[in-house]
Structure formats: C-alpha cells, structure tokens
A and B are shown apart, each in its own frame.
Chain A
C-alpha cells in the first residue's frame, strides 16, 4: 500500500541558507502534519493543514512556513537556517475525520552546518 513519501531523505545546508522539505500524503488523505524531532527529543508538532488550509499551529518558528497544495502535497519552507534546526522532520497524513490515526513518512534528516 502507498505510504507517506517525504523528500529528500537527507539534506545538508549551511547556516542562513534556505531549505524546502516535501511531503506527499497517502492518496485520499486530506490532512497533513509536520513534526520536528531533535536529537534525543520527542517529536514536536509544528503545523497542520486540512483541505489546503492551515488547521493548527504548534511550535513552528517564524522563519518557517508551510503550505498544502491542490494535490494535497505539502512543503515546509525553512529560511535563515540555524544550527539548532538540525533535526529529523516528519510529515504525517490522515483523513480529516476526528479520530483518524496519523501515518508517518520516514522523515527528512536536515543537518545545518
């Protein structure tokens, strides 16, 4: 069965550069979530989208932005990267109905040097 696809799997950037992470949800899933997991930390919710509109906002820095496109894929744009942004970024998708579990991608590991 098709799963959540994230690209790229690995990304290395320098401080102050920008990065774009992509997430392709499971077909027919209309909700996308972004999570950040730093080394040794639990996943932190960043932001979510339902039907192409932002539905919830968590601890996402102002330097980051995200959107969900008409085909339901989502992109997380990160600017003015800092060393502390180095983390594993997970995307998850679900059907918008309350109570639907999240299905996670394998993540994008971002390293900022």
Chain B
C-alpha cells in the first residue's frame, strides 16, 4: 500500500529556473513531512521538513508547501543549480514513527 506517492519519476529543468517536485499522500494521520536528496552511492540526505501545523517552510533556495486538504506537498528549488541534480524522496510520518517514503523523483538540472 503506497501511502506516499511521487508520480513523476523524473524532471529536467534549466539552470536558474524553478524546479517543482510533487508528492501526494493518502494517510490523513501523517503529521510530519520531509524531503531527502540522494546522490548515487550515498545515503539520502535530509533537506527540509514541514509539520502539519504549517503550510510553508523555507530554507534558502528550498521551500516546501503543504496542502493538507489536498494531501499534497511540493518542494520548490529556486534558482535550480546543476549540483541539485539528484533523486529527491518525499517522506511522511505520524509522530516520527514508521516513516514512509515515496518512490523518488530524479531531478536533472541542465547548465
């Protein structure tokens, strides 16, 4: 049962433009959401998070938006840089237990 879904397996954007990665979830009890970035041969790296009491969280070039009514969150990267090219995983948990991951979206930022 895929409780966290990333429907776009890949995304390609031009350097300097905005990258938007999307994530949908089905479990309304999820109260904490995270984005992880993964380079080849490395473990996922925590990027940014948001709790269900917020609808937006910013950290530098990265902003995560949460739409609880639609059970949807998105990660915006502005401006995109070639070093952002990686696989991005969306994750969700209820009270930091049993974190569920999406299948990942491969972002390619072209110079």
Residues of A bordering B, CB below 8 Å? 4, 6, 33, 35, 41-45, 48, 55-56, 58, 90, 92, 94, 97-107
Contact = CB atoms under 8 A, between A and B. Distances in A.
A42 B32 contact: no
Given A42-B104, A90-B43, A58 B98 contact: yes
Contacts of A102: 34, 36, 44, 46, 99
Interface in B45-82: 45-46, 49, 51
Given A42-B89, A90-B44, A105-B43, A98 B100 contact: no
B42 A98 contact: no
Given A104-B44, A106-B43, A41 B103 contact: yes
B26 to A, nearest CB: 15
Contacts of B100: 45
Interface string B11-32: 0000000000000000000001
Interface residues of B, number: 22
Given A6-B43, A43-B101, A104-B45, 19 more contacts: A4-B43, A41-B103, A42-B89, A43-B89, A44-B101, A45-B99, A45-B100, A48-B98, A56-B98, A58-B98, A90-B43, A90-B44, A99-B51, A101-B46, A101-B49, A102-B34, A102-B36, A103-B46, A104-B36
Given A42-B104, A101-B34, A101-B49, A55 B43 contact: no
A94 B104 CA distance: 22
B103 to A, nearest CB: 4
A42 B104 CA distance: 7
B46 A45 contact: no
A56 B95 CA distance: 12
Interface centre among A45, A97, A101 (most CB of B within 10 A): A101
19 contacts: A4-B43, A35-B101, A42-B104, A43-B89, A43-B101, A58-B98, A90-B43, A97-B96, A98-B95, A98-B96, A99-B96, A100-B96, A101-B46, A102-B36, A102-B44, A104-B43, A104-B44, A104-B45, A106-B43
